[in-house]
Structure 1
Amino acid sequence: MASYKDVLVTGGAGFIGRNMIAGMVRDGYTITALDNYKIGGKEFVDDEIRKEVNWVEGDSRDYSLIAKLTKGVDGVIHLAAPSSFLMYEEDPTDGASVTTQGFLNILEAVRRNDVGKLVYASTSAVYEGNPVPYTEEMTLAPPDLKALSKKWNEEAARQYSDRYGITAVGLRPFSVYGHDEFSKGGYANVISLFVWAALSGQTPVLWGNGQQTRDFIYVTDAGRAFQLALEADLKTDEFNVGTGLETTFNRTLDLIGSELGVDLTPRYVPTPIAIYAERLWADTRKAENILGFHPSVTVEEGIRRVIASAKEARDRWPELGTRQMYFETLPS
C-alpha cells in the first residue's frame, strides 16, 4: 500500500464516501471523516466501520475546521458537494457555494499543510454536449451549474498544482448506484428508484421514451477507484470512473422485472427539465491503463444487490416506493 495511510475524507457519510471508507478501513487506512449529514448520515454506515473512523460533523466551507483536520494527514479525498443536478436546480446558491468555496478551502489547506495528495470528485456532467463515449481530452462547456462548478474545481486544482506543486487528481464518476442508497431519497439513482417503486407495487415513472442511456457503475467500484487514485504514483490529472458500457433505462427495467418475476411496464412522461443528458458513456481506457481500474460488478449483478438490499430495508423505510414520485413535482 502507498504511504498515504492517514487520510481525511470529506463527505464521508455520503453514498460513495461510506462505501469507499469501508474498503479503506479493511485495507488498514486510518480515516477521519467530515460530513454535515445533510444527505448522508452515520446511521447508514456499517456499525463496525463506524467505530473504526473518527467522525467529525462540520462543513467544508469552514476553513478553520478544514485547516485543523488536514494537519498531519497524508492525503485528502474530497467528496463533499451536492451529488444531484436537481439539488443545484433547487438551491443554486448553496450548491455552488459548497462546491466552489468548500473546494477552495481544501486546496488552500492542502497547500499550507503540505498534504501529499488530494483526490477529489468531479462529475461526468462536465462532458455534456460532446459526442459519446466521453474521453478525458474533450473540450468542456458545461451546460448547467453543477457541471460548471465542478469544471471550476478542476481548473482551480490545476492552478494550485502549477503554482504551488500540489498533486490533485480529479475523478469524473458516471452514474453511480448501489445497495444502500436510502439516504439520498428522491435524489437516488434511477436503478434504486425503479427497484423501490417495483417492490412497493408502484408503477415506475420514466422520462421520455426510455431509450436514454447511462454508464452505470456500482458504488463499491466507484469507491475503489478513489482509493486507487490515492495509492497510484500520479501527477495532477483527471480520470473517468465508469464501466465503458451504456445501458438504456428500458433495459434496466427489463432486468429488474426479470429478477423480480414481474412485468415492469413504466409510465412514460415528458422530461420535465430543460437540460437533460440523453446518453452518458465513459471511455475508460485511461483509468484502466494508468490507475489499473477495472470495475467488478456488472449491471445485472448490481441490480440483484440493490433488490436484495431494498427487500431487507422495507420495514425500516416503508416510504421508499414513493420517492420517485418526487420527479413529478419538478417545474418544466
Structure 2
Amino acid sequence: MTGGAGFIGANLCRALAARPEVEKIRVLDDLSSGDLTNLDGVEVDFVMGSILDAELLTDLMADTTTVVHLAARPSVPRSLADPLASHSVNATGTLHVLEACRATRPHVVLASSSSVYGNCQEPHKHEDLPTRPLSPYGASKLATEAYGLAYAESFDLPVLPFRFFNVYGPMQAAGHAYAAVIPTFVSMALRGRPVPIYGDGNQARDFTYVGSLTEVLVDAAVRRVTSPTPVNLAFGTRITLRHLKDALGMVLGRPVEPAFLPPRIGEIQESQASPHLLRRLFPSVCPTPLEDGLRMTVAWFENSATADPGLQLDAHI
C-alpha cells in the first residue's frame, strides 16, 4: 500500500489486518503528509520511501499481489500554490507505481477524486459525465485514473480506479493550513471557536465516513475487483456546510457558530455521487449516517492531541 501512514491508509491497514485472507501488509510512505503513529498497534512492514523512487518500487513489487495506491499530494489550495509539485506526486508518481507493476501484474486499486468532475451541474455525478477539473489537483487526479485505465488496456493490468468524495473520520489531521473541512470544524468547535465557512455555506458535499470507504477497499482487494471505468466511492448524500455545522452541534449538544469568509478559487459548489456502479460492484456495503460518523470522529479528537490550537483557517473541502 502506498500512503499507508496517512489518514485513509492507516484506517485501511487496520481493516485489512482484521481479515484472515490478508497474510501481509506492506506500507510505503514518505511521511510528507502521513504520520507513523497512525500505524501504532498495527502489524505492517513499513518502508520509508517515495513513489518517485522507481528502483524502490520495482523491488517492492517482487512479491506483491495487490497494490492499493493512496499516496498523493492532497488539497486544491495546495495545488494552486504549487501546481508542479501536485503533478509530480499525483500524476508522475502514479505512473511510476504502474510501471513498477508491469512485470509482476498485481491487482491495482487507485484513488482518484470527485474533483475530476469540476463544477458539473448534474445533481448526481455519474461516471459517464465529462471531466472538467477546476484545479491542478483535480487535473492530477484525472491523470491518475487515466494512466491506470491506460495500463489496464495496454498491458492487461488488473485495475480498479475509485473516485473518492470528501472522506472523513478518525486520524484525519486538522492542524495544518490545508486540512479538510470536517476535522477543521470538529477541532474548532471543540475549542469553542467559530468554524470557517468560505462563501455562503450552501455548497454541498457527499461526505463519506472512512469506515464505509475502507469496507469497500478491503472487499475490492480481497475479491480482486476490477472495472473498465472509474467508480464513484460515495453514496449520493447531499450535505451543505450549514447542515454539517448544525449536525456537529447536535453531536456536541451545543450550537456551533460560523465564521463566514470570502469564497475561494477552484471550489466546487455541488459534489454528490451517483452510487449505482458502486452498489452493483459492492452490493452489501452500507454507508455510515453522518451523525454516527461525526460522533466517532469527535470521540477520536477528544482522545487525541490532534486538535491543534494553532490551526489556520483554510479548510479544504
Whether these two folds match at TM > 0.5 is yes
Residue aligned with 1:112, SS: coil
CA distance in 2, matches of 1:76, 1:293: 23
What does residue 20 of structure 1 align with?
12
Does residue 152 of structure 2 align to residue 158 of structure 1? no
Does residue 196 of structure 2 align to residue 205 of structure 1? yes
The alignment's C-alpha RMSD in Å is: 1.8
Superposition deviation, residue 184 in structure 1: 6.4
Alignment match of 2:230 (pick from 217, 231, 238): 238
Q: CA 1:293–1:149 in structure 2 vs 1: closer, same or farther (change >3 Å)?
A: farther
Does residue 313 of structure 2 align to residue 325 of structure 1? yes
5+ residue gaps, structure 2: none
Cα deviations by residue, 1:38-84 (Å, 9 ceiling, x for unpaired) = 11111122x321xx100000000000000000112111110111121
Does residue 239 of structure 2 align to residue 247 of structure 1? yes
Runs of 4+ off more than 3 Å: 183-186
Residue aligned with 1:18, SS: helix
Residue aligned with 1:325, SS: coil
Cα deviations by residue, 1:7-28 (Å, 9 ceiling, x for unpaired) = xx00000111010111001103
Alignment match of 1:73 (pick from 64, 88, 93): 64
CA distance in 1, matches of 2:165, 2:286: 12
Alignment match of 1:135 (pick from 126, 140, 164): 126
CA distance in 1, matches of 2:306, 2:111: 29
User: What are the within-5 Å matches in structure 2 for residues 268-307 of structure 1?
Assistant: 268-271=260-263, 273-292=264-283, 294-307=285-298
Alignment match of 1:125 (pick from 94, 97, 115): 115
What does residue 37 of structure 1 align with?
31
| Contact kept in structure 1, 2:178 and 2:315, CA below 8 Å | no
Superposition deviation, residue 208 in structure 1: 1.1
5+ residue gaps, structure 1: 1-8
CA distance in 1, matches of 2:272, 2:284: 16
Alignment match of 1:102 (pick from 93, 97, 114): 93
- The aligned length equals 312
Letter in 2 for 1:279: E
Greater CA deviation, 223-232 or 169-178? 223-232
Residue aligned with 1:268, SS: strand
Q: CA 1:193–1:77 in structure 2 vs 1: closer, same or farther (change >3 Å)?
A: same
CA distance in 1, matches of 2:10, 2:175: 13
When normalised by structure 1's length, the TM-score is 0.89
Letter in 1 for 2:119: G
Greater CA deviation, 177-186 or 10-19? 177-186
